[in-house]
A and B are shown apart, each in its own frame.
Chain A
Amino acid sequence: MLEVHNLTKRFGQKAAVDNISFQVNVGDAFGLLGPNGAGKSTTISVIAGLLTPDSGEVLLDGQSLRKNPRYLKQRIGLVPQTIALYDHLSAEENLRFWGTIYGVTGKQLSDNIEWCLDVAGLKDYRKQRVKKFSGGMQRRLNIAVGMIHRPQLLIMDEPTVGIDPQSRNHILETVRSLNGEGMTVIYTSHYMEEVQYLCKRLVIMDDGRMIAYGNMDEVKQLAGTLATVRMEVSGDGSAAAAVLKQDTALQNVLFADGQLVFQAADAATAVGRAVMALSTLDMQPVGIKIEEPNLEAAFLHLTGRQLRDMGEGQTA
């Protein structure tokens, strides 16, 4: 359905997206995972027709974005990262406005408004102005507006940033439900858990490059059978990491957020070796957590860095 071929987008000398290719099938819940600055938003901006690629091609149903942008725009719904709503208008007025902008009119527009309000759980607040909505409600309406023309493909750019857990769960359930009903979704996030929960297939991006692509299980296996060990320590964690790095059985050792993190094929043996090594520094672990192979482990394996280290305001 959606094909991205050798896409490159540069800003000056910097390649924000560097020669990436992937395909999103009909009915997919497709994840774009990566830290801030990885190139996820640039990628979806090109797909949505907001940016012109320097090279490469985007096709939807075989139609080229370059040659027939209107075809793609009519079939793609975009949910931007920040709230893109008129806060002096009510929920219903916003939906009506954006519906008109997307070329939906008359009864079709009224039906779509009802459907969107229903999906967003805002039927009881349809007449209320957006400025009086909570952050979560605004996020839900932001998503609903992206669907007002009932797009084939819904692109969501980090739709859960900065909201409370309850609203986040509501949004995740909504996306899952929409995908269950057959809507194709591209979901970008730097939250590994969200992508893991929602998506069947994904791309992992870092520094503009595609570092992994495939089914969820395939990508997880990129980390091999390595388990990830997180060990909370008190004392000089950097010195402890330096000691652990000397042990070749412990891979990708790093110290972050008060935790020693490393990967190993045999987690139990690795923990024993690490504890012994720490004792030479008169250090003892305060807590130990062993994680089975997951997206975080894959990212760590591929980049030597943690996804969660690349938080807000940091660049990859």
Chain B
Amino acid sequence: MMAAIAIQMAKVNLLRMLRDRRTLMFMFLMPVVLIAILGSAFSGMFGSQTTIKKFDVAIVNQDAGHAAQELVSFLSSQKSQVKVTGFSSVKAAQAATQNGLEDVVVIIPKAFSADVAAKKTVQVQVQAPLNRDTDKSITQSLIAGYGQQAAMGAYIQAQTQAIGEPLQPVLAQIVEKSPGMHPIGAGSYYAIGMMAMFMLMNAFNRSASMVEEKASDLYRRLIAAPASRNALTIGNWVANFSVLFVQGAILLLAARWILSVHFGPLAQTGLLLGCYSFCLAGISTALGSFFRNQQVLNGLTNIGTQIVALLGGSMWPVFAFPHAMQLFAKVLPNGITVTAMVDTVMGVGTSTLMVPMLYLLVLGLVLGVIAALRYGRRLA
């Protein structure tokens, strides 16, 4: 009986969501557009460009020596990162960068090979427009790396000649060990942040709808029925949970498939979404049960949503907040969810996220029980 009532109430609420175009727009279209805008606008903030596009290098080799030719060959061999084109004059190379044909200019000076042979310090000029600063830095790193490698080779060769037998240097092997964490992009962050915020807004809207319904004959008809108060509360709770979970799932899927946003493992993300929906369903049912005045509730939730969304990191990452403010994100359901989902994207495993998930479930359960104490009581 209780399950049948809960299923029917969930069905009624899901149909209301799906059959109302304005609701659909508010719940789905608006968040997806916001995710796209915010993800694009703040893409630089997260260092989200995990791959740097291949760029063009114009080389002006003013030296005909061996070392200079070796450097050109080295740069030309980095085909995955740069495309090297030789230029006869600096002017021509600079003109090519100004016209956008080339990104970086490398000028190898005339005495390069002779200076290298004489073990003198040599300077290679790297020029680039301001907007190609990253490409310039990469080119400088490549040249510096080549220089160190060449110096080490020359040193070994000299030592070998001095001692008359091959030198076998013992070099420390420094190997990068990956922590298994991935960087998070602005798209992923704001998809999570907006999902959390719009689900929160919807939860508050649903509580306002419950208050509105309580003032109507629909509620009179509900409590005139022989269904127990617990059944009606659970029915409302399940209805809220269903709507919120479907909303969250659609938002994440839309971000994944429409905006190509990366999330973590599907099961873990789904589990977190379920826990968050569980918690929000408890909040909305409790608010809907306790409040009597819809205007008061609307006023509080309109302001409350903005504040809670901000403190929870939906609008701006919480790490940018002062430490004291960051504490709010550790107790607010949306803050916990955003942090846990961001962790999921970065590669944190399910076992590490058990505490936030349990917190959300317990909070939802406690609020649901509190709601049951109030909902469905006689009118007076």
Residue contact B380 to A101, C-beta cutoff 8 Å = no
B28-36, B188-196, B215-223 - the one binding chain A: B215-223
> When chains A and B are docked, how far (Å) is the Cα of A70 from the Cα of B229?
11
Pick the contact of A48 from B16, B20, B224 — CB < 8 Å? B224
B4-12, B93-101, B150-158 - the one binding chain A: B4-12
Number of residues from B at the complex interface, CB < 8 A: 24
Q: Which residues of B contact A129 (CB under 8 A)?
A: 19
Q: Is A133 interfacial (CB 8 A cutoff)? A: no
Q: Is B227 interfacial (CB 8 A cutoff)? A: yes
Q: Is A240 interfacial (CB 8 A cutoff)? A: no
Interface size class of A (residues with CB under 8 A): 20 to 34
Given A11-B380, A50-B379, A52-B378, answer yes or no on A105-B220 (Cβ-Cβ < 8 Å): no
Binding site for A on B (CB under 8 A): 1, 4-5, 8, 11-12, 15-16, 19-20, 216-218, 220-227, 378-380
Pick the contact of B223 from A50, A70, A81 — CB < 8 Å? A50
Interchain Cβ contacts under 8 Å between A and B, 8 examples: A11-B380, A50-B379, A82-B216, A83-B217, A88-B19, A89-B15, A100-B5, A102-B227
Binding site for B on A (CB under 8 A): 11, 45, 48-52, 70, 73-74, 76, 78, 80-86, 88-89, 93, 96-98, 100-103, 105, 129, 145-146
Residue contact B226 to A70, C-beta cutoff 8 Å = yes
Chain A, Cβ-Cβ closest to B377: A52
Q: Which residues of A contact B224 (CB under 8 A)?
A: 48-50, 73, 76, 78
> When chains A and B are docked, how far (Å) is the Cα of A88 from the Cα of B21?
12
Q: Assuming A50-B378, A51-B379, A101-B227, what are 14 further A-B pairs, CB within 8 angstroms?
A: A49-B223, A50-B379, A73-B224, A74-B226, A78-B220, A78-B221, A78-B224, A80-B217, A84-B217, A84-B218, A89-B15, A93-B12, A100-B4, A103-B225
Residue contact B20 to A103, C-beta cutoff 8 Å = no
Residue contact B378 to A49, C-beta cutoff 8 Å = yes
Pick the contact of B4 from A70, A73, A105 — CB < 8 Å? A105
Residue contact A145 to B217, C-beta cutoff 8 Å = no
Q: Which residues of B contact A45 (CB under 8 A)?
A: 220, 379
Pick the contact of B380 from A51, A93, A145 — CB < 8 Å? A51
> When chains A and B are docked, how far (Å) is the Cα of A65 from the Cα of B217?
21
